[in-house]
Chain A
């Protein structure tokens, strides 16, 4: 069965610093991968998705993620953190053979001034 691991339940960075949120998946075939963001008291909003086209995917709000098959990773990055980036981030994988998303446990990003 597929699984998603997000390393680090909490990540803290200073405003202007690099943001790196880690996501690893287990799959025998390259899956479809997604990053969602959840702001306080809101639903999940899609940041970006990997669908077997370009391995470097650009999303909204300056975020991007790189699919690395050899490392089974799909880490989320942003060169310069902004206070408004403080939120919880979820990595998710879509299986080829089913219609269900499998979510990681989430990483809460804090941004300090």
Chain B
């Protein structure tokens, strides 16, 4: 029972390099999310996708792009990585029912030098 799977788990980039973080869920959820986690700031929403074919900006979208490839997969792309994007990135999925929780992946730890 995989749930939400994120790849890679760790990555080190140089400033200016590009990178795509992958996320896949096997729970048939309509909604998927990308968050970043920074010390003392909790989780902040970068982008989300309420359903296949739709994406919307969250609280901190600058410097990122997303693709909802199909119902299962939601990728996050850094076109030109900056040191300020050093963070832990979490993908989550949700059934769409408010009384149900979001399910999270184990995260991608990204360092940009």
Chain A's nearest CB lies how many Å from the CB of B5?
11
Q: How many Cβ-Cβ contacts under 8 Å join chain A to chain B? A: 53
Chain A's nearest CB lies how many Å from the CB of B29?
11
Q: Give B96-113 as 1s and 0s: 1 = Cβ < 8 Å from A's Cβ atoms.
A: 101101111111010000
Pairwise interchain contact A43-B40, C-beta atoms closer than 8 A:
no
A46 within 8 A of B: yes
Pairwise interchain contact A43-B90, C-beta atoms closer than 8 A:
yes
Given A42-B106, A43-B106, A100-B48, the answer on whether A105 and B98 have CB atoms closer than 8 Å is no
Q: Give A50-81 as 1s and 0s: 1 = Cβ < 8 Å from B's Cβ atoms.
A: 01100000000000000000000000000000
Task: Please report B residues at the A interface, Cβ cutoff 8 Å.
Answer: 4, 31, 33, 40-45, 48, 50, 58, 90, 92, 94, 96, 98-99, 101-107, 109
